[in-house]
Amino acid sequence: MSGEWQRDEPDSPCVKVCLLHPEAGLCIGCLRSGEEIARWPEMTPEERRALLAELPNRKAEIAPRRRGGRARTRAKRTPKRG
């Protein structure tokens, strides 16, 4: 035993990057909704753990959609030599 005090409840997933995604309604930093952020202090440790388990699956909801990138654009503009 290290003698260091530890809480028995999960820490907040907040990473201090607080901005709600306009379409998904999720914080781009911690992936929680505004309601979940507001409810965090009142949640039981079990509710917090359940929410934390869901968060990794939400990343895709706010991920930017790829549009092809620079290589695709160049390929369209460059005439084929032949």
pLDDT, the chain, mean: 85
Give a yes or no: residue 74 inside a domain.
yes
Percent of the chain with pLDDT over 90: 60
pLDDT digits (tens, 9 = 90+) for 33-70: 999 999 999 999 999 999 999 999 999 888 877 766 66
Give a yes or no: residue 2 inside a domain.
no
CA dist 59 and 71 (Å) reads: 26
Give a yes or no: residue 64 inside a domain.
yes
Helix (H, G, I), strand (E, B) or coil at 3: coil
CA dist 61 and 15 (Å) reads: 18
Q: Rounded to whole angstroms, what are the CA distances from 79 to 69, 71, 74, 75, 82?
A: 18, 14, 10, 8, 9
Which range of residues forms the domain containing residue 61?
A: 7-82
Structural domain total, the chain: 1
Mean pLDDT of 1-29: 86
Give a yes or no: residue 34 inside a domain.
yes
Q: What is the pTM of this model?
A: 0.68
Quote the pLDDT of residue 57: 93
